[in-house]
Structure 1
Amino acid sequence: MGKHFFHQLWQWSLTILRLTLSDGGGFRPRKRLGYLLGFGLALGLPLTLAAPLVAQPSPEPSLSNQVTYTYGAGNGPATWTGSSSVSLGLGLVDPFGQLLGCGGSPLPNYLGFTVALYEPLPGDPLQTELGALVSLTPTELPNNPNNSVPGGLAPNTTNANPYSLSTQGTYNFLFDAARGQVDVGRTYLLVVTPPAGTSYLQRRLKLQIVGNNSGVVTYRATSLDGQPITAAGATQIDQQTVQVNDAAQVGLQLSALTLVTTLCNSRQMQLAKSGDRAVAQPGDTVIYRIVVRNQTDIALQNVAFTDTLPLGFRLVVGSARAAIADQPYPVQVSQSNSTVEFQVDTAVSLPVGEALSLVYAAQLTPDAVRGTGRNSALVTARRSDTGALLRDGPASHRLRIDPGLLSDCGTLIGRVFEDLNFDGEQQTGEPGLPNAVIFLDDGNRITTDERGIFSLANVLPGYRSGTLDPLSVPGYELTPNRVFMERNSASRLVHLAPGGMVRMNFGVRPQAQLGGGQND
C-alpha cells in the first residue's frame, strides 16, 4: 500500500508540474536560460510500509518541482522523511509584448511590421542612438532534447532579431543570462518599424535592466518618441515610463500611434491659433482664437489649453468663451504670471471630426513694446475609450507692436563749444563750433548746426558713446577738464534711459593756447 501511495504521489507531482508550465491548456517543455516562477508543495502524511524508504538527496537545480513527505511505520517511534523532485534545465528570460492601436485593440493587419532589439551606440551618453543589433541565442520549437539548442517560445520560436510580427501582433525575445544579457545596467533599444509606404511612424523604446533578484528580472521601458506606452496590468496607457516587475510574466504593450481610419493617424488633434489683427499699439485690445479639431476615431474629453502671453500682454478677465458648432460651454481660467490655463467643462465631449473654438481677449500695456508679440498655445485632451492623453502644439501668432505714442527710444543732445574755463559746460561768452562731427558707437554721424548744437532722436536706450572727429574742427583740440577727470578723453559715455534724454558735450580750445595752458 505504501509503495502504491508513493507512486501516486509521484504522479501528482508530475501533474502539478504540467499545470505549472502549461500555456493555454497545452504542455510545452521550455529550456529557457532565464527563470520561470517555480511551484513548491510540502505534504506531511502518515504511511504504513512493509520496508523503510530512504530519502534520496537531489542536487539543487535552477528550477525544481518538489514533494516532501514524512511517515511512520505502524505505531513505532521511527519516522522517515524524504522528498521527490523534478528539475528542469531552464535559462532564458523573455520580455514579451504586443503592438496595439490607440484604443488598446489589435491592429487589423500586422503584415510588414518588424520589431528589433539594438544595442545603444557606443559613446552615446544618453544611450538613445541605435548601435548594432543585439546578438540573441538561437532557439527551436519544438524542442529537440538531443541537441544543445534551447527550446524557444511562440511566436518568435527561433529568437530571431529582427522579428516580423505575427498575425496577432505579439513578439518576444529571449535574453541569455549566461551571456550577461540580464545583468543590472544593461540597456537595449526596442524599435518597431512599420511597412514602407504607409502612414505608420516608427516607434522607439529604451529598455533598462534595473534589477535581477533570484531570477526575477526587472526592466524599465522608456518611450523615446514621446508617445505613451503601457505594461499589461501595471500602468495607465498615458504613462511614458513603466517598470515591469517580472519579465517572464508581464507583457509590454506598445500603443501604435499615427495610424489611419479607425486607428490613430500622425496628428490626432489639429491646433490652430489666430488673432483679429496683425499690428497693435499699447492700449489696444486683441482678440485671440484657438481652434482644436478632433482627428481621431473616438470622442475626446477633458480638453484644456495652455497659452503663454507675450511680455506686456494682460488677459481681459471674463473674456474667455468656448464653443462647439456655435454651442457655448463654460471655461475655467487660471493664470500664473504669463501662463494662462483654459479648462473646458469636463462634461464636454468633442465629437470625431468636430472643432472646439476658444476665444479670449488680451490688452497691450506699455511693456509690450519690449516683447516679441509672439503668443503660443498648447492643447491636451483624453480619449473617451482608453483615457490616453493626447497633445498638440505649439500653435503661435505673431503680433507686430507699434509703439504709437510710447517708445523705448530716447533723445541725445549736446554741444561742441570753445571751453574757456575748462569745466566742460558752456557758459555765456563761450561760442559754439559749427559743422563739428560726432560719431556714435552704432555708426551714426552727427553734425552740429551754426551754434554748435546737435540732437538725435529715436536713439536706442542703454549705454551710448560718442567721439568728436578732430578733422572736423581744424585748429582746435579737446580742452582738459579740471572738474571731471572722466571727461579728459576723446569719447563721451552716457546712459540713455528708455524714453529719456541725455546730454553729450565736447569742450575744445584753439591749438594756439597750448603753451598758455601749461602756465595757467
Structure 2
Amino acid sequence: MKTRNCAIKQNFLRNSLSLTAIFLLGSSQVCEFSLAQPAATPIRNTATFTYTDIASGAVFQGVSAQLQVSAAAAIPPLIDPFGSLTSCDGGLLADYTGFSVGLYELLNSTGDIGLPVSLTATVPPKTKQAVGISPNFYNSNPFVLVNSDQGRFNFLLDVGRGQVDVGREYILAVKPPANSALAERRVRITITARNGNVASYTATSLDGEPISATSEATSVNGVINISNAETVGLSLAVAVNNINIATCEAQAIQLLKTGDRAAAEPGDIVVYRLNAKNLSTTVINNPEIRDDLPLGFQYVDGSVRAELGGNAVNVTVERNGRSLTFRPNVALPIAADNIPLNIVYAAQVTNDAIRGNGINRASISGTRTDNRRIVRTGPVSHLMRIRPGILSDCGTLVGRVFVDKNFDGEQQPGEPGVPNAVIYMDDGNRIVTDANGLYSLSNVLSGSRTLAIDLTSVSGYTLAPNLYFIERNSQSRLVRLAPGGLGRVNFAVTPTARGISDTIQEGTK
C-alpha cells in the first residue's frame, strides 16, 4: 500500500508546473523518493517537398533546413509532507471540528501574528492547473480541519515569490473552535537553509509547551531542526484549558486553599486545608505542594493529615523558614474518578503576624504518566485578617510636657503642664498635648522609637536643663518599646526669660 501511495504522489508531482517549493510542517513520515527527470533531448524537425512546373513540366524536389529546438528545463517538483495535530500522548484528538491551522506573517519579535501568508492557489489532481496536495488541495490559509483529515495539514510555499528564502520567518498558529475553552498554540518557523527542493527550518514553540508529543524539546530553550524535509516532520501537541476534551490540558491539575476562619489574632491556632484534584485523563504521580505561610505564622509540628477517597495518606513535610513542602505518598487519580486529595494542617499565629498581610500562598506540581511531563498550577492564596487581640507587638507611648522649676526632669506639685506642645515621632506622626500637657499614643510599633519636641510650638519656653541626667539635655528622646508594652517620655521646659542662674539666686534670697 505504501508503494502505491508513493506512486500516486509522484504522479501528483510530475503534473505540477507552477510551485517549486514546499514548506514542511508535520509528524507523519512520508515515503522517500526521487523523481527521475527526463533528458533534455533536442527537438529536430525537417520537411521534404515536390513541385511540378505546369508550363515546362519540370519536377523539383528538395529537403528543408533542419529546425532544432532544445527542450525546456524541467520545473523542480513539489515535495509531499504532512503536518499533524495530536493529543498530548501523540494520539488523535476526539474531535477536530472547528480547528484551524494557519501560517501567518511575523508581526514582532514577541510572536504576535500579522496577516495570513498569501499562498499560491492550487487545485486537486486531474486538472491543468498547479496540483495541490491532500488534505489541503487548494493550499488554503488558514486551513480548517475536519475529522476525516485526522489532524493532517500541509502548506505549499512558492519559490518564485521568495517564500522559502533563507531568513524568512512565519508563525504557525493552531486555533481551536471559537465556542470552546481550548488554548491556541503558536510556533515560530524560521527558514535557515535550502538544498534543492528541501527547505531546512527551525521551529520554536512560543507557548511554553513541547512542540512534539514524542519529544521534550520546548519553546523556552529548545528548537527542532528539520534537515530533510522529505522524511522528517514536526508534530504539534494541542493544549486545552479544561477537561471538556480528552487531550493535553493547559491546566492538568487544580489546587484550592481554604482556612477555618476569616480572622485570627496572636495566640490562635488556625487550620488550613488544601484540596488537590487531577483535571487530566491520565494519572499524575509524585504530587508536591509548596505552601508559603504568612509572616508571623508557625507550622504546628505533627499536625498534617491527608486523605484520598476516605483513605489516610502518609505525608512528609519539609520546612524551610515559613515555606512548607508537602509530599503525599499517593498518585492523583484521573479526572473521571473525581477523587481529590485533601490535606489539613495547623499553624499558630504569633505577635509578628500583625506586621504581615495574612496572605497564604500555595502551588502544586506533579508528573503525568502518559508523557512523563511535569504539570503545575498556582499559586492560589487565602487571606486571613489579623486582629491585634490581647497580645500585640504594638505598644503605647505616654508622657507630658511641663515646666521644670528645679531642673530634675520630674514633675512635682506646682510645676504646671504645657498645653498644645507638639511632639514628632520618627515615623512622622505628630502628637499634641492636651490642656494639662499630657499625651498618649496607642498601636505604636515596638522597637527603638525616637520622639522630639517642637520648641516653636511652646512659645516663650526653651528646653530645661537636667542637673542629674545628661542624656535628657536633648530635644529628642530614644525609647525602647516592648511588644504590648508601655513607654513613658517626658519633656521638661523652662521660660526663656529665666535660666538656671536666676533660679539659684532666687533660692538664696
Q: Given the two structures, how large is their TM-score scaled by the length of structure 1?
A: 0.68
The one of 307, 313, 317 equivalent to 1:329 is: 313
In the TM superposition, 1:3-22 aligns within 5 A as 22=6
Equivalent position of 1:190 in the other structure: 172
Distance verdict in 2 for CA 1:479–1:358, change over 3 Å: closer
How far 1:272 sits from its partner (Å)?
Answer: 1.7
Report the 3-state secondary structure (helix = DSSP H, G, I; strand = E; otherwise coil) of the residue aligned with 2:118: coil
- What's the offset of the Cα at 1:513? 4.8
Cα distance, 1:177–1:371 mapped onto 2, change above 3 Å: farther
- Report if aligned partners of 1:432, 1:453 keep a CA contact under 8 Å in 2: no
1:252 is aligned to 235
Indicate the SS of the match to 1:161.
Answer: coil
Please name the residue that 1:155 is paired with: 135
Distance 1:502 1:318, change over 3 A: closer
1:447 equivalent in structure 2 = 433
* 2:53 match: none
Counterparts of 2:443 and 2:7 in 1: how far apart (Å)?
Answer: 82
Relative contact order, CA 8 A, sep 6+: which one is greater? 2
Aligned to 2:291: 307
> How does 1:35-46 map onto structure 2 within 5 Å?
none
Change beyond 3 A, Cα 1:232–1:193: closer
User: Does residue 108 of the first structure (1) align with residue 90 of the second (2)?
Assistant: no
Larger radius of gyration: 2
1:104-141 deviation digits (Å, cap 9, x = unpaired): 4323332322222333435xxx5233333333344444
Alignment of 1:50-199 (within 5 A): 89=76, 97-122=83-108, 126-142=109-125, 151-167=131-147, 168-176=150-158, 181=163, 186-196=168-178, 198-199=179-180
User: Deviation string for 1:405-459 (max 9, x for gaps)?
Assistant: 54232333333233569x8955879934243343556665432464x44332322
My pick for the range that moved more, 370-379 or 400-409, is 400-409
* Residue 240 of structure 1: how far off its partner (Å): 6.5
Q: Which residue of 2 aligns with 1:407?
A: 392
The one-letter code sitting in structure 1 at the alignment partner of 2:91 is S
Corresponding residue for residue 271 of structure 1: 255
Deviation by residue 1:40-82 (Cα, 9 ceiling, x = unmatched): 9xxxxxxxxxxxxxxx999xxxxxxxxxxxxxxxxxxxxxxxx
Contact 2:275–2:340 (CA under 8 A) maintained in structure 1: yes
Distance 1:320 1:222 in 2: 41
% identical equivalent positions:
32
1:369 aligned residue: 354
What's the offset of the Cα at 1:509?
Answer: 3.5
Match of 1:128, as an amino acid? G
Cα distance in structure 1, aligned partners of 2:415 and 2:278: 77
Q: SS at 1:230's partner residue? A: coil
Gaps of 5+ in 2: 25-30, 42-72
* Partner of residue 343, structure 2: 358
Q: Structure 1: which amino acid aligns with 2:292?
A: T
Determine the C-alpha separation between the residues in 1 that align with 2:105 and 2:292: 40
Secondary structure of the structure 2 residue equivalent to 1:28: helix
1:77 paired residue number? none
Residue 101 of structure 2 aligns with an amino acid whose one-letter code is V
Given the superposition, is the C-alpha separation of residues 221 and 480 from structure 1 closer, same or farther in structure 2, using an over 3 Å criterion? same
Which stretch of the first structure deviates more once superposed, 315-324 or 501-510? Answer: 501-510
- Separation (CA, whole Å) in 2 of partners of 1:97 and 1:400: 54
Letter in 1 for 2:98: G
- Give the structure 2 partner of residue 220 of structure 1: 203
User: What SS does the aligned partner of 1:367 have?
Assistant: helix
Give, in whole Å, the separation in 2 of the partners of 1:114 and 1:286.
51
Secondary structure at the aligned position of 2:211 is classed as strand
Contact 2:9 2:80 in 1 (8 A): no
Residue of structure 2 in register with 1:316 after alignment: 300
8 Å CA contact retained: 1:424, 1:505: no
Q: CA 1:376–1:385 in 2, change beyond 3 Å: closer, same or farther?
A: same
In the alignment, the residues of structure 2 paired with residue 253 and residue 184 of structure 1 have an alpha-carbon distance, to the nearest angstrom, of: 23
Once the 2 structures are TM-superposed, how far is the Cα of residue 330 of structure 1 from its aligned partner? Answer: 2.2
Name the CA distance, whole Å, in 1 between partners of 2:456 and 2:200.
82
**Alpha-carbon deviations, 1:1-48, whole Å to 9, x = none?**
xxxxxxxxxxxxxxxxx97993887653164425899979xxxxxxxx
Give the C-alpha shift of residue 102 in structure 1.
4.4
Contact 1:416 1:448 (C-alpha < 8 Å) held by counterparts:
no
Whether the 8 Å CA contact 1:199–1:259 is kept in 2: the answer is no
CA distance in 2, matches of 1:23, 1:486: 106
- State the alpha-carbon separation in 2 of the partners of residues 497 and 180 from structure 1: 77
Superposed displacement of residue 261, structure 1: 4.8
The 3-state SS of whatever aligns with 2:352 is helix
SS in 1 for 2:110: coil
State whether residues 418 and 431 of structure 1, in contact with CA within 8 Å, keep that contact through their aligned partners in structure 2: yes
Structural RMSD (CA) = 4.6
Matched, 1:230 2:202: no
Count of matched residue pairs: 441
Contact 2:284–2:331 under 8 Å retained in 1: no
**Bigger mean CA offset, 455-464 vs 200-209:** 455-464
Query: Are the aligned partners of 2:424 and 2:454 in contact in 1 as well (CA < 8 Å)?
Result: no
Q: Is the partner of 2:240 in helix, strand or coil?
A: coil
Q: Please tell me the residue identity of whatever aligns with 1:194.
A: P
- Flag structure 1 segments of 5+ consecutive residues without an equivalent: 1-17, 41-55, 59-85
CA distance in 1 between counterparts of 2:489 and 2:167 reads 67
Listed as ranges, the matches of 1:363-512 within 5 Å are 363-418=348-403, 425=409, 431-438=415-422, 440=424, 445-448=431-434, 450=436, 452-460=437-445, 468=454, 473=458, 476-479=460-463, 487=474, 492=476, 499=483, 504-510=489-495, 512=497
CA 1:429–1:477 in structure 2 vs 1: closer, same or farther (change >3 Å)? same
Question: Relative to 1, partners in 2 of residues 1:158 and 1:99: Cα closer, same or farther, differing over 3 Å?
Answer: same
Residues of 1 paired with 2:488 and 2:192: CA distance?
A: 72
Return closer, same or farther for 1:213/1:116 CA change in 2, 3 Å cut-off.
closer
Does the aligned pair in 1 maintain the 2:212–2:234 contact within 8 Å? yes
Find the residue that maps to 2:223 and give its secondary structure: strand
Structure 1 residues 278, 163: CA separation in 2 closer, same or farther (over 3 Å shift)? Answer: same
